[in-house]
Amino acid sequence: MNILILAAGTRNTIVRYFKRTFDGIGSVVATDASTLGPAIYDADKYYIVPPITEPGYIDMILEICQKEQIRGVLSLIDPELSLLAKNKEKFEALGVTIIGSSYELCEMSLDKMQMYKWLVAHGYNCARSWMDKDKFYQAVEAGEVSYPVFVKPYRGSASIRISKVYDKETVDLLFAHEDDLMIQEHLNGMEIGADVYIDMLSGEVVSIFTKKKLKMRAGETDKAVSFKDPALFALIEKFVLEAGYRGQIDIDIFEINGTYYISEVNPRFGGGYPHAFESGVDHMKLILNNLQGKVNEKRIGEYEEGIYMMKYNEVKILKM
């Protein structure tokens, strides 16, 4: 029962969790585009592969799956999620399960404007967004929105190229130099992260872990504390089932004056997932059960409140 983790990068902890859960049952194989991707050295075996944009990349991954008798595959970076989903049939032909959502959902999650339109159409609270800056200026003049706002690529991840903007002149400047930008309302409230697992066999939401983000760094949760709210659990379950996600997902949410706003979805393990695992929420076990043909029982919110997570730096030393 071997599993393949693509684009392992610096996610050493995720690799270790899989090794702990799969110990005695199967091997954990990892890939990266660089020998300096530290997480690959925590796997049972690793492969150095070309960037996902290289011709023949998927064929190389399929070869690894055959050679290593892989049963499940997942990626830890957003751009690769759609690529895997697009080639789902090729993996299934080898008996390999892609642990993730459909191509359409991966694309919608990556495209912030598309996600915004879906949320609005389905009646969810979310940050108002614009791709047309003139329509945004009209909204400002009408008093519908005010500065500061965020200007960001409508397709992007890891908080890359996001600017907090306080005036029209800066918006004009940014839009003059980039052509893939959107403007998003600043939600001034408590940011919340949700680690969610949707059973790959039943399609049911079987696990939800929520945390209040106390401090962020480089787009990832640096300090957080676990909490529970049945109303939030219900909102997450409704949203996830309505959208149709599968496997592991990470949701960013804001709470403002008692109202929850859905911000973004990453259909993969988020950077703050170790908080959930160390609190007893083992999604690696849920993945293993699904790969073994077992449907997971629903265990939403089975963890303690008030558990804090604090990230700190580690180093990997290696002589090549």
CB 278 within 8 A of CB 224: no
Q: What is the total residue count of the chain?
A: 320
CA proximity to 228, closest of 147, 159, 303: 303
Task: Dump strand ranges (E) for 147-271.
Answer: 149-153, 163-165, 181-185, 190-198, 205-217, 220-227, 247-256, 259-266
CA distance 213 to 193: 7
- What confidence score (pLDDT) does residue 144 get? 94
| Domains of the chain, CATH where assigned | 2-98 (3.40.50.20), 128-185 (3.30.1490.20), 189-310 (3.30.470.20)
Three-state SS for 90?
helix
pLDDT tens sequence for the chain (320 residues): 999 999 999 999 999 999 999 999 999 999 999 999 999 999 999 999 999 999 999 999 999 999 999 999 999 999 999 999 999 999 999 999 999 999 999 999 999 999 999 999 999 999 999 999 999 999 999 999 999 999 999 886 655 678 999 999 999 999 998 888 999 999 999 999 999 999 999 999 999 999 999 987 766 788 999 999 999 999 999 999 999 999 999 999 999 999 999 999 999 999 999 999 999 999 999 999 999 999 999 999 999 999 999 988 888 888 87
How many C-beta atoms surround the C-beta of residue 217 within 10 A?
A: 11
Does the model's pTM come out above 0.75? yes
Q: What is the pLDDT of residues 230-289, one digit of tens each?
A: 999 999 999 999 999 999 999 999 999 999 999 999 999 999 999 999 999 999 999 999
Digit-coded pLDDT (tens) for 51-78: 999 999 999 999 999 999 999 999 999 9
The pair phi, psi for residue 111, each rounded to 5°, is -95, 100
What are the Cα distances from residue 167, in Å, to 146, 147, 150, 172?
Answer: 9, 7, 11, 9
Which strands, in side-by-side order, build the sheet including 45-48?
Answer: 45-48, 28-32, 2-6, 70-75, 97-98
From first CA to last CA, the distance across the chain in angstroms is 30
Give 39's DSSP letter: G
Q: What is the pLDDT of residue 177?
A: 87
Position 160 scores a pLDDT of 65
Q: Which helix (H) or strand (E) holds 5?
A: strand 2-6
pLDDT score at 158 = 55
